[in-house]
Each structure stands twice: as structure tokens, then as C-alpha cells.
Amino acid sequence: MKYMITGGNRGLGQALCEQFSGDSYSRTNGYDIIKDREKLVQASLNYDVFINNAFDGPFQESWSDFGQVKLLFDVATAWKNANKVGYIINIGSSGSESIVSPDPAWETYRVSKAALKHHSLQWTQAFKENQTFFRTSLITLDRLDTLLSRSRANWTGNGIDLSDVGNMINTCISVNNNTCIGEITAWVNFNT
């Protein structure tokens, strides 16, 4: 299978590119999920697995515009119109699982990830109702073990191993043809 991974230039995206021998589409090679959405949509039609990983935030920045959600909408619509078979995997965040006030402004990141969760599950429902041939799954993740996470003051030494995320993706794509995993959620005990 051929894998297309947005944001494959660092962190989780880079690890997934390595694990799946996937192709990275990121700002570093000319693919911004806001500015180059149509190019990304067209490229996705040449892949079996599209991993929607890149985030356009932080949310309070002027360039942030629900990029992951809009990209999912456009990719899934193109795949539906093409009667495409394959997998769309969306990388969510445990931040979508709780509601907090929007102060500090960074907390509005949760709003974007909550929208991604809802829209991803809409496409899962479309498969269930025989409206699409491709399957859409959401992987909701707590803190990851990345260089960025390790550089933060609140790093406790515990985060989700990036290879485990690859295993979750393998689970989503290895089920029977009539089955679609809507969501996998992974939590971390920060103290062990």
C-alpha cells in the first residue's frame, strides 16, 4: 500500500513516514494544508492510505483556519466522487475530550480537534451507510513521546511511543472489508 502523510517532516509524521515508507507532504516540501489544499487533494487520489496529521495552528494565529478539518472534507469528497477504495486516517488529540474556557487562547486548539473528530466520524458513518467505499478512522492521542514534548517544562518522561501509533493505524487497515474502526483513543499515565 502507498501512504501519504501530511506533516511528515518531523515528530509523529516523520515517524509514520519511516514506519510505512510513506511520502511526506509538508510545508518544507511545498505543501501547506491551508494554501495548497487542492494540490494535496489531487495527490491523495494516488494513494491507498491518506494520513491527515499536519496541524495548521496554533489556533490563535492568523493563518490557522481549521485546516485539518477542511482538508478532510475536500479529500473525502474527492475520494467519494472518484469511488475510491482506501483509508483516511485522521490524527486527533485528547484535547478534544474536555471543554475548557478559551483562555489562554491556545486552548481553542481543542475546538479545531473536536471539529476534526466530529467530521471524521461523519465519514465513518458514510461508510457504514454504504455511501463511500473508503474507510475513515480517527486516532485520538494523548501526549506523544516526541522531541517537542520532551522539550516542554511539563514533560514527565511519559508519552505515547510513536511506533504504537503506527500499530493503531495497522489495526484500522487490517480489519475485514465490511468493517471500519471509527476511533481509537490512547491515554498516557504521566506518572509511570
For residue range 120-132, what is the model confidence (pLDDT) as tens digits?
A: 999 999 999 999 9
- Cα of 78 vs its chain's centroid, Å: 18
| Dihedral over Cα of 157, 163, 169, 175: its sign | negative
**pLDDT on residue 7:** 94
Residues 68 and 116: beta-carbon distance below 8 Å = yes
pTM over cut 0.85 = yes
Q: Side chain identity at 53, as an amino acid letter?
A: N
- Residues 22-44 pLDDT 10s: 999 999 999 999 899 999 999 99
**pLDDT on residue 106:** 58
**pLDDT on residue 64:** 64
Domains of the chain listed by start with CATH number: 3-186 (3.40.50.720)
Q: Which whole number is the average pLDDT over 87-105?
A: 80
**How far is it, in rounded angstroms, from Cα 144 to Cα 158?**
8
